[in-house]
Amino acid sequence: MTGGRDQPELGTAPNCHSMNARKVLILNQTFEPLQVCTARRAVLLVFNGKAERIEDSGQIIRSPSTTFALPSVIRLHHYVRIPVTPTISFNKKNILKRDSYTCQYCGRNGGERMTIDHIIPKSLGGRTIWENVVSACRACNLKKGNKSLSETGMRLPHKPIRPRSASVLGILAHASLQHERWRKYLPPDGEDHASLRP
C-alpha cells in the first residue's frame, strides 16, 4: 500500500466482479485456513491493520492517494480459537462443497447440477463413504458407469477425504476459483491443519 490513509474505493477494482462476489481466504495467525470472506471485508481488515496481505489477486484498487493490491489470501494479526465442530453430515450437498462443485474426472465446474459417483461402484463392493464418493458431471458419470477407474482410464486429481471441520468445508466450496493461490494453505490429503504452519 502506498500514499496516505484514504480508504480505497471498494467498488472500483478493474476487470473483476463486484467486491462482494470476489472471495478471499482468511488465514489464522498460525497460517491455518480459517474462513472465506468477501474482497470488500478483506480490504477493510488489511486497511484497518487487523490483517496482512499474503497473496494478491493481481487486481488493483485506487483512492485519490492510495494504490492497493486486491488480496486473494490474508492473515489475521491475532489468533482466533476454532471451536470443536460436530461431525460433518455426509450428503450430496457437502460432497459437492468438498469438491468445489467440480467434476473430479474432467475438471468441469457444474455448480449444484453436478451428480455424485462411487469411485468403486456399489456393484463391485464400493461403500457409500466420503473416501469413495466424488462429484461428477453427468457426462463423466455416464462414461464411468459401473466400471472401475482402471477399466475406464479415468483419473482423480487427488484422493477424496472426509472434511475435518465445517470451516474447511466452507473454504473448499470456493477453492476451485482460487485454487492455485489457495492450494498451499489448504490441508493436503489426510493431513491436519497443524502441518500447514510455516
In whole angstroms, what is the distance from residue 54 CA to residue 48 CA?
16
In whole angstroms, what is the distance from residue 18 CA to residue 16 CA?
7
All three cell numbers of 64: 485519490
Low-confidence ranges of the chain (pLDDT < 50): 1-4, 11-16, 189-198
Please give the CATH number for the structural domain made up of 92-152: 1.10.30.50
Residue 183 has what pLDDT? 77
Residue 178 has what pLDDT? 56
In whole angstroms, what is the distance from residue 101 CA to residue 71 CA?
23
In whole angstroms, what is the distance from residue 13 CA to residue 129 CA?
42
> What length does the chain have?
198
Residue ranges per domain, the chain? 23-83, 92-152
In whole angstroms, what is the distance from residue 88 CA to residue 91 CA?
9
Residue 171 has what pLDDT? 79
Q: Are the CB atoms for 6 and 59 separated by under 8 Å?
A: no
Quickly list H helices, the chain: 39-47, 92-98, 138-144, 149-152, 166-172, 179-182
Model-wide pTM > 0.75: no
In whole angstroms, what is the distance from residue 5 CA to residue 137 CA?
48
Distances (CA, A) of 173 to 52, 145, 179, 195: 23, 26, 11, 21
Residue 128 has what pLDDT? 96
Sorted by sequence, the CB contacts under 8 Å of residue 146 that are 6+ apart come out as: 121, 123, 124
